[in-house]
Chain A
Amino acid sequence: MTAVVAGYGAVTGLGAAADTWAGILAGRSAARPWEDLADEGFGVTTACRVTRLPPGDPVRRGRALADAAVADALVLADGALHGVAPDRIGVYLGTTMGESAGYEQATSSFSASAHHGGALAAHVASLVGATGPVRAYGTACAAGNYAIGAAAAAVRAGRVDVAIAGGVEPFSRIAMVGFARMRAMTPDLCRPFVAGRRGMQLGEGAAFVVIESAARVAARAARARAVVGALGLASDAHHPTSPRPDGSGMAAAMLAALSRSGLSPTDVDWVSAHGTGTPQSDAAEAVALRSVFPAGVPVSSIKGAIGHTMGAASAVETVVAVRALEEGLAPPNVNGSTPDPELGLDVVVTPRAADVRWVLNCAYAFGGLDSALVLGRAA
């Protein structure tokens, strides 16, 4: 059975899915300084926060982001849930900090279970009326891939008929302080794969896809927007935060995804890189890419455009990959038009028209987590 994306939705610093895609193609960045962060004493005040939604209750920001992205995905999926038994609908959600403001504003009656990703997943399940499997992946900056990969596998195996899968990450002040103190954040722009890159930029956002079997989408005369292939996972088992410099874990995940999808590296037309803009991570990723794709492959990162949206990142990147497959366009590496030649990568610097049949979406995380998800053009 083939799993396909029937609908997608996203909300980022650039806007909804269509605006995010258009903004990336135009080379726009959502990064800007924020007065409230300056007033609160943050040393780094530039971030890529969502302005599409009203501020609302900060402790329920993740839920609001998820609501917006899921709603858009269901509209595009055009009747995906009609006539589906609730226990045949699954929800697969990834996040890093959950409702971070819940921790930031904790009182003596704090309860972690009210704020972690499990609460967000339960919220989405309630939103769509799902009583099937509900999974919350706390796999940090790779969580979106984990969720979407698991959802597609569940559809292929017949464990669910429809899966709502994605990632959510409201703006986290904890992460803003943490990354800044680790000296991982750039003082200016996030420039993935550029010589002299100085670090990441924090973002917030959410993205969800509706996944069904290709047969089911065809039966209800809806449109399949992309094929979801296999997920490849590996671990560095090396360091709490730094990747293996030889990129071996990253490469293992990429090769596993391709192998499990019945593909070889030469089948890949574009790699959506993790590309955080940090010196170490980008360098390790470049080593991994060169080892998996010795003949080269077009590569770009969207984090220069929308920042690092952590648990939502690879879910947003999945939506962008679907757009790339639909449009036959590899998007540019925003803020990265002068790639470091020492990295030896074919970095896409302007939108590149191409016969995009297969995309590999890569995401890595603290704790040495390595993930790669295959996405393909729908028939």
Chain B
Amino acid sequence: MKITDLALFVLLIFLGVSIKLDMDQRRLIQAEELKTRYNEVMFTATEDATMSLLQPDSNTTEDILKLGYDKRYMEVNPNLDRAIERFYETLYENMGIENDKVAQDAFKMHVPVKVVIAYDGYYVNSWHEVYNSSTGKNELLEMWSPKKPYSYYDVHDKLVVNFTLDDLVYIYNLQTGAMQSERRAQLSASYPGALFSQTSFDNVRRQTIVECIQKELGYYSVRYNNIAKQLGLGYIYSIPLIPEDAWSNTIKSTCFIAFLQGLPVGAQSYNTYGFGGARVVAASMYFGNTINGINYYHEEGCSQAAGSNIKFDSRREAAQNGYYPCPVCKP
């Protein structure tokens, strides 16, 4: 046999292996890109949903929002329906299925749980089987749970404590039956235990909020697995472990969380989640006053802000009205 024939023969054997390797490699690269894409899409969609949470859903809400100044968003009911609508709208647009009802319904099945973190409680949106009286059949619907509080039981003082996203606490004293809503500072005087002390309060509060939500997520993913089995989806849903720092960014303000599960990527399925960011309510106010005949605008809490009698929504608005940035707080 000549050397060329031998080379061809070896090549023939080798070709099969190399083609397979090549295809595997490509699939990996494409899967990697798809993952990044899904992450970006989830980020945008949850961000949009969070923005929509604060859209007024009734006249009273609108009034509160107009008062706006001292972070009154806490009292606003989040506009849950608008948020979920917007969440899907953005998802579909990015997936290119905005006009395809069948694909949309199929896609919805990959988003088993949505959570809204509100000021004094959280809402969970998941699939529920509901009896429809007009057709006499059970239907699968996406529904919001009622608001659930961030509850904690303090064994030492026998207190049921409901936390909020800041230092306001609702407490129920099991011994006296008294209910109170107070700031932490006031409570630390009447309950000198460790819970309301300045050092541990924030840790307990965060821990409670995260635990409440994680427990709920676990519950709903098990529930959803039952539904998925009935629908013939072969994927087992489980809530991914969320790193500590992702949580601590989240539980500062109203926020929308969604989990994308079981999307086929390459030969495997891919899970991701999205947090709608805190920047929504970070809408800061600027305070204007006059020092030595010059108009200055300050950030909230600036030492020079004493005697501020005017508020601005933005730095631009302040500048348009002839105010200079304060040299101390440098807004």
Genuine A/B complex: no
